[in-house]
């Protein structure tokens, strides 16, 4: 059985006892979390969240790309979130390559250069600070007063708020 088939079986089992169909689309905490897609990060477990509590937006590196801003803007404008939590992490694959190295690797594998930036991360803490600043300066983010940035330590499971990585 493939992993996809195993997951589909789990989804069928999940639906048998499902009782959360009446949850509203707006998160109860009014928080949106932007973090990395890394499988070692479980945002719900880390932050004590349940279904319906927060929007969780994930991408490679947890970078504040144009698409991440788009998702955060929709989260705020259409669904009422008022706080943003940005979490990047140690040991991230986006720290392992430079922008050019990763672009060249993608080109070598796919046969063409991507038309989009890969958003490699040179410095974790600076990336979080820059990300918070980008979110807080976007005209599409209506609630800029509570944007905070953190580094998740995959080695210890701890979350560390970065000084200078908060909006005011």
Calculated CA dihedral for residues 58, 52, 144, 40, nearest 10 degrees: -30
Confidence (pTM): 0.93
What's the gap between Cα 149 and its chain centre? 11
What is the full per-residue pLDDT of the chain (168 aa) written as tens digits?
Answer: 899 999 999 999 999 999 999 999 999 999 999 999 999 999 999 999 999 999 999 999 999 999 999 999 999 999 999 999 999 999 999 999 999 999 999 999 999 999 999 999 999 999 999 999 999 999 999 998 899 999 999 999 999 999 877 776
Domain boundaries, the chain: 26-166
Q: Look at residue 116 and give its three-state secondary structure.
A: coil
Closest CA to 87 of 30, 52, 25, 38: 38
Q: Where are the alpha helices (DSSP H) in 17-147?
A: 43-47, 66-79, 99-110, 124-137
Domain 26-166 has CATH 3.40.1050.10: yes
- Tokens representing 75 are 């989260």
pLDDT score recorded for residue 163? 80
Contact 102, 60 (CB under 8 A): no
């Amino acid at each position: 059985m493939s992993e996809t088939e195993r997951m589909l079986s789990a989804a069928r089992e999940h639906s048998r006892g499902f009782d959360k169909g009446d949850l509203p689309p707006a998160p109860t905490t009014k928080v949106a979390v932007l973090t990395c897609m890394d499988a070692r990060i479980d945002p719900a477990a880390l932050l004590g969240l349940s279904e319906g509590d927060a929007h969780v937006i994930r991408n490679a590196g947890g970078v504040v790309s144009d698409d991440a801003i788009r998702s955060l803007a929709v989260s705020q404008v259409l669904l009422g979130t008022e706080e943003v939590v940005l979490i990047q992490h140690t040991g991230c694959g986006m720290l392992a390559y430079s922008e050019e190295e990763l672009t060249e690797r993608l080109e070598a594998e796919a046969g063409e250069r991507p038309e989009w930036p890969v958003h490699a991360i040179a410095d974790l803490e600076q990336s979080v600070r820059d990300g918070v600043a980008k979110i807080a300066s976007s005209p599409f983010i209506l609630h800029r007063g509570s944007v905070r940035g953190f580094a998740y330590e995959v080695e210890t499971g701890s979350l560390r708020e970065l000084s200078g990585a908060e909006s005011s």
